Chain A
Amino acid sequence: MAWRIEYYEQHDGSVPAAKFLDGCPAKIDAQFNAVLDAVAAAPPPRFSGGGKWEAMHGSMGGYYEIRLTGPGREQFRLFCLLENAAPSELRRRGLKAPSVVVINGMRKPHRTTFTDRDYRKHVRALGEDHLANIPRRLAQ
């Protein structure tokens, strides 16, 4: 069964991941969409996403990222959470089906790293807000 792809929405109605994708080069946006659609069509634990979809570790455990390289070897990352549970629990969360939830994205020059502060501020804080909401606040 294919999963749905949902986008986390902030309390002010903004959608960080959509804003990030809108600012990416068209080819990078297209590749992110292609990986998301492939993963949703053949969801975990099956191998999917052509090697560009990876589970994260350490303080980012529980998150998944799509890793792409753009012009000038600029690095683009899109961060997601997976939501899967019994149908009654999914309904309680306001989800129509198991879902890949796109939280936010970040970009950086080649050979640089994101700090844990970057992850905390731009990904985990948003992911925690997403998980704290019942039902989930999703872009419509």
Chain B
Amino acid sequence: MKRTGFHERRRTERMRDPEFRDEYERARREIEQIDSVVRSLDELRESTGMSKTDLARRIGRNPSSIRRLFTSRSNPELRLVVQIANDLDADIIVVPRHKKRDRRLQSDECASVAAA
């Protein structure tokens, strides 16, 4: 009996290609950061006891747009994310991952976004 699934074996095989591996790792970091921001906002909303409908009403949005955002049914729009953060009294901040000197040496992937 095979101990790992088809997906894991295929991915392991593809990771031998440096182009695939670098892009996979970059994409995972990017996805994790976006997911983290949206989940943080949803947890903050829940901690205040506010329903998705209440939140939508407060920022003048259709309730379905808020439901879609928090359940992965649409691509998150930055403007909507910022509106929600504002209403929940939170900030979206960019945290440099490296010191300024190091950043000059790196042309990409130098910042991460986090919900405060």
**Interface of A with B (CB < 8 Å)?**
4-7, 15, 18, 21, 26-27, 29-31, 33-39, 42, 44-55, 67, 102, 138-140
Across the A-B interface, give the 8 residue pairs with the lowest CB-CB distance, nearest first: A50-B31, A34-B27, A30-B23, A30-B24, A5-B7, A139-B6, A51-B75, A50-B34
A139 to B38 CA separation, bound complex (whole angstroms): 33
A18 to B13 CA separation, bound complex (whole angstroms): 13
Contact A140 B72 (CB under 8 A): no
Residues of A within 8 A of B72 (CB): 39, 44-49, 53-55
Contact B14 A47 (CB under 8 A): no
Q: In the assembled complex, how far is the CB of residue B97 from the closest CB belonging to chain A, in whole angstroms? A: 18
Contact A49 B39 (CB under 8 A): no
A47 to B10 CA separation, bound complex (whole angstroms): 26
Q: Which residue of B lies closest to A139 (CB)?
A: B6
Q: How large is the interface on B (under 10, 10 to 19, 20 to 34, 35 or more residues)?
A: 20 to 34
From B14, B21, B28, A37 is in contact (CB under 8 Å) with B28
Residues of A within 8 A of B2 (CB): 140
Residues of A within 8 A of B33 (CB): 50
A38 to B35 CA separation, bound complex (whole angstroms): 9
**Interface of B with A (CB < 8 Å)?**
2, 5-8, 10-11, 14, 17, 19-24, 27-28, 30-35, 38-39, 42, 69-76
Q: In the assembled complex, how far is the CB of residue B26 from the closest CB belonging to chain A, in whole angstroms? A: 8
What are 30 inter-chain pairs, A to B, with CB distance below 8 A? A6-B5, A6-B7, A7-B6, A21-B10, A26-B17, A29-B14, A29-B20, A30-B24, A31-B24, A31-B27, A33-B14, A34-B23, A34-B24, A37-B11, A38-B32, A38-B35, A45-B72, A46-B72, A47-B35, A47-B39, A47-B71, A47-B72, A49-B31, A50-B34, A50-B35, A54-B72, A54-B74, A55-B72, A67-B75, A140-B6
A29 to B28 CA separation, bound complex (whole angstroms): 13
Q: Which residue of A lies closest to B11 (CB)?
A: A33
Q: In the assembled complex, how far is the CB of residue B5 from the closest CB belonging to chain A, in whole angstroms? A: 6
